[in-house]
Amino acid sequence: MTRIPLWFASLLLAAPLLAQAQLRQPPPPTETRPVTLPSQSTPVTGNARPQREDADPPARTEDRPKPKPRSKPIAQPRATVRPIYDSKGQPAPHMRQTSPGRVIDTRTNRYYDTVPSGVGQQVVPPPAGSR
C-alpha cells in the first residue's frame, strides 16, 4: 500500500475551506469606513455656484504679471546641396545624395559610390564588367 505524503493530505483537507473563503461575499463598504453625508444648510437653486465667504475675489487683469514675449526661433540656414557630377565630370541634377559617399540616380533608382570632388561629389565609375 502506498502512503500519501503529509503535505498532499493537508492540501486535500484545506481545499474546501479555501473554496468557501472565495465564495463568501465581501463586506459592504459602509462597514469598513464611516459614512458622512454633507449637510445641506443653504438650498442651491438653478446653476448658480455657491460662493465661499473666505474666497479671495478674482484678480484683476492689471494686477497679473504680463507674460514674457516668446523669443522667435533662430532660423537655421539651409544646408547647401553639394553638386553631384557623373563619372565623366558632367553635372547630374537627377542624382540625390543619400549618405556620405552614396548617391541615388532618381531616373534608374540605382545607388552609386562617390568621392569628394572640389565642392561636390563625383560618381565613381562602376568596375568594368559589372553591368
Average pLDDT, the chain: 78
Report d(CA 3, CA 117) in Å as an integer.
90
Q: What is the pTM of this model?
A: 0.39
pLDDT > 90 fraction of the chain, expressed in percent and rounded: 21
Greater model confidence, 32 or 82: 82
pLDDT > 70 fraction of the chain, expressed in percent and rounded: 77
CB-based burial label for 112 (10 Å; 0-12, 13-18, 19+):
buried
Report d(CA 71, CA 78) in Å as an integer.
21
Greater model confidence, 46 or 120: 120
- Pick from 2-6, 13-17, 19-23, 88-92 the range whose average pLDDT is largest: 88-92
Least trusted range by pLDDT, from 8-17, 35-44, 114-123:
35-44
Q: Which residue has the cell 500519501?
A: 4
Q: What pLDDT is stored for residue 111 in this prediction?
A: 93
- Are 111 and 104 within 8 A, CB to CB? yes
Q: For residue range 69-123, what is the model confidence (pLDDT) as tens digits?
A: 778 777 777 667 789 999 888 999 999 999 889 999 999 999 999 999 888 889 9
Half-sphere exposure (CA, 13 Å, Cβ side) for 75?
2
Report d(CA 117, CA 131) in Å as an integer.
24
